[in-house]
Structure 1
Amino acid sequence: MKKSISIIITIFLGSLLVGCSKENQKNSTDYQVMKRAEATELLSVDISLATDTVSHTALYNTYEGLYRLGSSNEVIPAGATKLPQVSEDGRKYTIELNKKSKWSDDKPVTAKDYVFSWQRTIDPQTESQYAQLFSNIKNAKKIMTKELKPTELGIKAIDDYKLEIELESATPYFQNLLAFPNFFPQREDIVKKYGSEYATTSQKAVYNGAFTLTNYDASSGGATKWTYKKNQNYWDRSKVKLDKIENTVVKDAGTAFAMYESGKLDETYLLGEYVNQNKGEKEVITILKPSTYYLQFNMIDKDSFLSNKEVRQAMSSITNRKEIVENVLNNGSREAISFVPKGVYYNPDTGEDFSETYEPKMEYNVKNGVDTWNKVFNNQKMEIKLLIPDDDGIKKVAEYLQESGFTYQWNEILL
């Protein structure tokens, strides 16, 4: 088995160790198995409800949308045969579907599967946290506020293999959105068959991607083990070299590294001292995976001091992001200067990275932070509880924040 990454991961910039286990060395020309570690549980494989990076990794591997993104973020046809035909005003998209695309139960992927999926996600009853991504589609905002029905969303099936999408206004980045997992298709009959249990186990869903999901059960919470198995009904299966990918949650970076060293894993993540230990090793791969980690403040209680904008600005100013990425994570991550990470969006005319041109940028300035805090509290100290997931990297960041002035309470609640 060649030392390479064969799955799509979309999280922050990270370092991975990628090798070949003894099992694969023995069967390098036969059955191909990859064993890898994840730092956190797989919470959801429901296209309408998934929000975290591990869940999106699973969706990228087991489903396929109209398009995928190439190595330079270029849009590449996948479930579509070619790039969209766009009207002169930029508001109407006509897309021809790939007639070879099938579901794992051998049924064809049709335009109706996209229509149903998008309507389900935008439906307020679904309570999708990512419904706002559909905001530029005609009627989406009115559907989200219950002024219109989901069936009035600006997407329709012209026939089995042709989609028409209408936007509220021209949106230059819309094609890129179509490669995001929440825009992938869903089968109406399967969703209705399983109801509230849809996609809670691997058997209660069908897949149209390079792999199918097996050994997954999140009916009582997140799954700690799951497997991707080569989808024999995938239209482009001849290019899929792996037969199986076994995923195991290993929350401690040291334990994961030891498992890799002993041959129990073919891939693991690196954090902190393990990055320094392995610098220069040919098995270390650093991959840019754009996303942003951030503190989400509880502002439900309007009387809470966290509802004060200046308090949040003060906390932002005293957070040394550069020190966090260089000394705490030490895995190649970059400090955030805006909510949109580097390497995602570029000015189509100048080629400039959006994050470099956005103002105001987030900057580390202790004096400004302290002055702003004292302006509100007059030197008063306040206790802040930070709820974090059970993730080794995030726990290290939380510990750093505690030492630099924050207090936190560990809890298995993902913000």
Structure 2
Amino acid sequence: MKKAQSVTLLSSLLLLAGALAGCGNASAQSKQQTLHLMQDTELQSLDTSNTAQLTQWNVLQQSMEGLYRMNANNKVVGAMATKVVKPTNNGKTYTFHLRKNAKWNNGDAVTAQDFVTAWRRSVSSTSTSGYSYIYEGIKNAEQISAGKKPTSTLGVTAVNQHTLKVTLSRAMPYLDKMLTMPAFFPQDHKVVAKYGKDYGSTSQKMAYNGPFTVKGWNGTNDSWSLLKNKQYYAKKSIKLDKMTMQVVKDSTTAHNLFSQGKLDDAPVTGVTAKGVQSDKHLKHVKKAGTYYLRLNMQNNRALRNQNLRKALNLVLNKQSLTKNVLSDGSTPAYNYVTPSLATDPTTGKDFGTETQSKDRYDVQKAQKLWNKGLKELGKSSVTLKMVSEDTTVAKNIDQFVQAAVKQHLQHAKVEVSAVPAKASGTAVQNGNYDLTYTLWLADYADPVSFFDILTKNNPQNYGHYADAVFNQQVSAAHGKNATNQKAYWQNMRTAAERLNTTSAVVPLYNMTESHLVNNQLSGVTYHAVGENDYTRAYFK
């Protein structure tokens, strides 16, 4: 309580001093148009073909553009493509005409070959991004990712310098939304040829076709800049001259930097967030994301047992988590798919709400299920290895889970390992964990964006969930039912029910970010789906 009061008092004092300090030196920034931002994990790469990470995508959202982009009204509009096109051939052929005035920051023209190069690299069986699956539906993509066909057979063709043809193996009604994602951004094929495997390993070994260019990232440092791209086709709509980004893992540090005018937009959590809920600079940003526990279900791991997974879900008081631990406006999650992501058109109901699990916090039932699971495994006790990133919020979640298990489950223990993002990611990819705290932020506004990564052969299915019923439902939704609205949404509901029944994951909370925002900052688009867009921001 005392800490929360001191935070509020500090904010009040800063407001009173606003005329002198301008809270974030807004008056000075208004002239310079420099925006100071933070990321909560390290930047590992700028190459979307070999890495898929939230910090990376946040950076690329400001410095790159695909065929389409989402505007301030969350509407898909043309970007590198001159307009949003309608498919032909029963929804299986798209022909995009690229802007003839679109250039990379080095002066190269943005061409159809840049998309061909990027997509072939990303769908390749040697790609390590974990996102090759997102191309499935494009002709031959699945076979290429499996190493059964060469990348040259991918259904993407440069008809000429400014015409791109995409051929699908099945209709994909949601493709327009997908094409706004960084996974589908182009890559300057000349720059890729120049740097090879080192492409994107530093900010210099890249080319940028978006509003800003990245400068000063050497591949390991925790701060870098983004400068206005003079070659950007719509540069007149960009008012900022510069953005700076730095890695800040601790909410108290983020708050202090904001108070000192060194950050203009600072997401905060936990005690810090609780102390600023009445601050006039606070902005709640609801995102279509679910924070959850990924569970390792490999045969040599205890959580392959369904009853242990169910027990773990029931022993966690998610109301207490959001109210007392996070305190940032987040709400308890009882479903893998976030509420407000999409409306089920066949029922008129919010999908995430209509399909949520009925299971709630129940310690007695959890213990019974745990005992049953131990008996089925022939074990007297189980120690679970929890691996997570070394951010403040991740550590708080670790402690919450560890304490709940210790207090309420006999014959159970959680050992925590909090390490930098790269190390935790490696541990998860190698299967050296039992549970890990993670986030899925929807790539596009459809439940299948959540479901895809839990299908059996998906490269991001690091929990090794393999359920035949679930896989069948998602496969049918992508295939024979893709254009049959009633059947498609029945597939979605059945898939959601199956995840709940089998406890495929342990949902924790729905994503709501508490941002401390400079009151002179305007023009930011906080997308519910995808990354926040600061490219059209400015200081009043």
TM-score normalized with structure 2 length: 0.68
Asked whether the equivalents of residues 47 and 59 of structure 1 are also in contact (C-alpha less than 8 Å), the reply is: no
| 1:104 corresponds to | 105
- Aligned AA for 1:284? L
Change (3 A) 1:279 1:360: closer
Superposed, 1:16-415 pairs within 5 Å as 23-26=25-28, 28-29=30-31, 31-71=32-72, 73-87=74-88, 89-218=90-219, 221=220, 223-300=221-298, 302-348=299-345, 352-358=349-355, 363-378=360-375, 380-405=380-405, 406-412=414-420, 413-414=424-425, 415=428
Deviation string, structure 1 residues 103-123 (Cα, Å, up to 9, x no partner)? 011111111111111110000
Preserved contact between residue 29 and residue 35 of structure 2 (Cα < 8 Å):
no
Contact 2:45 2:201 in 1 (8 A): yes
- 2:24 and 2:263 in contact (8 A); partners too: no
Compare the two structures and name the one with the higher strand fraction. 2
For 1:290, the aligned partner's letter is: A
- 1:104·1:231 contact (CA, 8 Å) conserved in 2? yes
The structural deviation recorded for 1:351 is 5.6
- Once the two structures are TM-superposed, the CA of residue 180 in structure 1 deviates from its matched residue by 0.8
Q: What are the Cα deviations for residues 75-103 of structure 1, in whole angstroms up to 9, with x where unaligned?
A: 12212111122126222222222222210
State the 1:359 CA deviation.
6.1
Bigger CA drift: 70-79 or 223-232? 70-79
Alpha-carbon contact 1:47-1:186 (below 8 Å) kept = no
- Once the two structures are TM-superposed, the CA of residue 334 in structure 1 deviates from its matched residue by 3.1
Residues 322 and 329, structure 2, Cα contact 8 Å, conserved in 1: yes
Q: How many residues of Structure 1 are paired with residues of Structure 2 in the alignment?
A: 393
Structure 1 residues 108 and 248, CA, compared in 2 at 3 Å: closer, same or farther? same
Deviations 1:221-263 (A, max 9, x none): 5x41111111111111111111111111122211221121122
- SS, match of residue 201 in structure 1: coil
How far apart are 1:285 and its partner, in Å? 1.4
Aligned-partner Cα distance in 2 for 1:369–1:172: 41
User: Alpha-carbon deviation of 1:372?
Assistant: 2.2
Q: Report the TM-score, using the length of structure 1 for normalisation.
A: 0.87
Q: Kindly state the Cα deviation for residue 340 of structure 1 after the two structures are TM-superposed.
A: 3.0
Task: Identify the range of structure 1 (323-332 vs 59-68) with the bigger mean alpha-carbon deviation.
Answer: 323-332
Cα root mean square deviation, aligned: 2.4
Q: Report % sequence identity.
A: 32
What displacement does 1:318 show?
2.5
TM-superposition CA deviations, 1:164-192 (whole Å, max 9, x none): 22222222211111011101001222122
* Structure 2: segments with no counterpart, 5+ residues: 1-14, 16-20, 406-413, 429-540
- Cα deviation, 1:326-353, whole Å, max 9, x if unaligned, reads 3212222233333332333344566643
User: Do the aligned partners of 2:24 and 2:258 also contact (CA within 8 Å) in 1?
Assistant: no
Q: Residue 37 of structure 1: SS of its match in structure 2?
A: strand
Question: 352-361 or 244-253: which moved more?
Answer: 352-361
For residues 89 and 232 of structure 1, the distance between their equivalents in structure 2, rounded to whole angstroms, comes to: 40
- 8 Å contact 1:85–1:95 — kept in the other structure? no
Mapped contact 1:94–1:162 kept (Cα < 8 A): yes
Q: Deviations over 1:188-242 (max 9, x none)?
A: 2212211222111110000011110011122xx5x41111111111111111111
Find the aligned partners of 2:317 and 2:404 in 1 and give their Cα distance. 9
Structure 2 distance, partners of 1:325, 1:38, is 22
Relative distance call for 1:303 and 1:272 in structure 2 (3 A) is: closer
Partner AA of 1:409 in structure 2: S
